[in-house]
Amino acid sequence: MKNKILKIFLILGVLFFLVVGGVFAFIIYSLPSAKKIGSAFAESKSENKIDAKNEKSMAVNNLQSNDQTAAKSESSDISSQDQSTKEKKIEHSRKALLNLTDPDIPLSDFCLSLKNAKSGSVNATEFNAELQKSSDDIKDSGPRVQALKPLLRTIFREPKMKELILEAQTAVENKEENFWQKAAFYSKAAMAFQALIANRSELESVSDRSYLFYKMNNLVSVRPDLLNDERLQKFCSDTENAFNTNQPVQFDQEKKNFERVLAEIGVQPSEIKYDPNYKTKYDFVMNSNAMKMNGGWLEEMAGEDLANSDKKLSK
């Protein structure tokens, strides 16, 4: 079970370009096959067996010499620490996956994270760390990633995306895999991508409302004194509640409400790079080389990482 959870997160790592950087890319020849993705688990299992044998060997050697006892004890301690680190990573991955896919978890839990507001874009390493942190304790998580959570959860709760994750779970059991098996695996990615295209309007609406969360992060990052302002807190909780009670997005009105709050607290839209005319528009490109989803405020959030990923895809 633990190996399968780790495997799923290797797949989610591939899907990173969908949710951060605005790019969804599955390339049949350049991406690892389902079997290769699963090989991480076989290696992990093999390492566990080796560790067990080493521990048994240490127990025998410990009877032969005090010097060997000291050496083996040190080696055992290191092995134990490594195993503990692996266990923690797997547990964090499991929690982060459930945080995205469990339909019983609310779509948004943004407001508690607002006290950790930070300006600027989010690179891949920072995003992954924040995603893990957000599943451990919302209060310690960053609002930039939390602003993205409604979109993430909408994407990963889509039935075709769940099928793709299920495929990742079973791939480790394949002993052999040729090109056609690999192509079949990525065909599920194509179907998941098509499902996202079909749900374009929903994804754009979710991103519209999330844009206001993202700008609240910018607001508190430049004006931390406004964190506990009742007007800002009320707008935040109202927006979060709108997500969690499945209220239809009325973006024009919601923008006006946000702009009214900005005026009341004396903040100019330009101070937080807020665009009153913002409207999410995603472009989907699907060809023999890649599947890409571009647009929206995700590009602002990803910054240079998006530009770098586009350069890699164009090579």
pLDDT tens for 4-36 read 444 444 444 444 434 433 333 332 333 444 544
Write the DSSP symbol of residue 21.
Answer: S
Is the CB of residue 40 less than 8 Å from the CB of residue 177?
no
pLDDT at 166 over 80: no
Is the CB of residue 156 less than 8 Å from the CB of residue 100?
yes
Q: 3 pLDDT band (50/70/90 cuts)?
A: low
d(CA 169, CA 106): 25
pLDDT at 301 over 80: yes
Supply 85's token pair: 């680190």
Lowest mean pLDDT among 36-45, 160-169, 257-266: 36-45
Q: 88 pLDDT band (50/70/90 cuts)?
A: low
Mean pLDDT of all residues belonging to the chain? 75
Contact partners, residue 38, CB within 8 Å, separation at least 6 = 7, 168, 171, 172, 173, 174
Half-sphere exposure of 85 (CA within 13 A, CB side): 7
This prediction's pTM = 0.73
pLDDT at 209 over 70: yes
Token pair 């090579």 is found at 315
Among the listed residues 287, 101, 123, 128, the one whose alpha carbon sits nearest the alpha carbon of residue 193: 287
Supply 134's token pair: 């957000």
Among the listed residues 149, 247, 271, 134, the one whose alpha carbon sits nearest the alpha carbon of residue 207: 149
The pLDDT value recorded for residue 128 is: 76
pLDDT at 264 over 70: yes
Amino acid identity for residue 177 in this structure: E
